[in-house]
Amino acid sequence: MRLPFLRSRLRRGVAVAVLTVGLPAFAQAQRAPIIAAAADLNVALTEIADRFAREQGQRVELVFGSSGTLARQIRDGAPFELFLCADEEFVEQLAGAALTRDRGTLYGTGRVVLFAPHGSPLVPSEGLDGLAKLIASGRVTRFAIANPEHAPYGRAAEAALRKRGLWESLRPKLVLGENVAQAAQFATTGNAVGGIIAYSLALSPNLQARGTFTLIPEADHSPLRQRMVLLTRAGRVAEQFYQYIQQPAARAILERYGFVVPQR
């Protein structure tokens, strides 16, 4: 389902996907809350929403994009009811602007990986040292990351590359995704040797079939602390979904996709 607001108001690159996760046709008549979510949740949150629909008899619509762009759209009046962010600082900013119910709750901490498609000269098991050798040999064509200007996973990628002294030499070869899901797509297409993407996306069946990856050490970038918050317009179904994400079944799905979930 495509929403007129999304067609006319959301800026380029916000929506990786708009998914109506739900029930039979008779239930579709009820308005579903629109949930804004960081692009690294594309697979995991869709699975959680499917399960929520089956178990709770309620549907939600998911909009995926970069956290910074989604936060900007919330400030501009986007009709979201719940925001799952990849950088808790954006939630703090929205709370400070009185656009949220409170300061929300931490739902997980993300990781980044070095990913290479099958057939690439990049060998992820060699880590960023292997990438450095490939750069030195002149064999890097294109390398994908999310745009650091508004994507937390892009900032993590930049930080890791800077720490290893690779940023300046790799910069002319970078192809920037509007969000980390688009960066993952770029890392598997064209003539890119690979990229730095979200662990949660690398664990998806689609990407596991298309390449290999290795985790980048947590010490190479600031923690990707991911927070969700109900917005001031949130209704009953959004409240239920917010609580459902904190329950064991949803937490298990997040863990399966590589998130470190907080202890309850």
Residues of the chain with pLDDT under 50: 1-29
- Give the domain ranges of the chain: 4-109+225-256, 112-215
| Pairing assessment for the beta strands 105-110 and 80-84 based on DSSP bridges | unpaired
pLDDT tens readout for residues 155-199: 999 999 999 999 999 999 999 999 999 999 999 987 899 999 999
pTM recorded for the entire structure:
0.88
Domain 112-215 part of CATH 1.10.3720.10: no
The confidence score (pLDDT) of residue 181 equals 97
pLDDT value of position 237: 98
Cβ atoms of 103 and 95 within 8 Å: the answer is yes
- Return the residue matching tokens 């910074």: 68
What tokens appear for 112 in the block? 């980044």
Q: Which of 176, 221, 180, 177 has the alpha carbon at shortest distance from 198? A: 180
Closest CA to 228 of 247, 248, 242, 239: 242
Cβ atoms of 114 and 131 closer than 8 Å: yes
Cα–Cα distance list, 168 to 10, 159, 162, 165, 198 (Å): 32, 12, 8, 7, 22
CA atoms within 13 A on the CB side of 124: 22
Instruction: Answer whether 81's CB lies under 8 Å from 34's CB.
Output: yes
CATH 3.40.30.10 correct for 4-109+225-256: no
pLDDT at 190: 72
Please tell me if the domain spanning 4-109+225-256 has the same topology as the one spanning 112-215: yes
Which residues lie closer than 8 Å to 211 by C-beta, 6 or more apart?
A: 115, 116, 117, 118, 120, 187, 188, 194
**Could you report the per-residue pLDDT of 105-121, keeping only the tens digit for each?**
999 999 999 999 999 99
| 194, containing H or E segment | strand 192-198
Compute the half-sphere exposure of residue 31: CA atoms within 13 Å on the CB side of its CA: 10
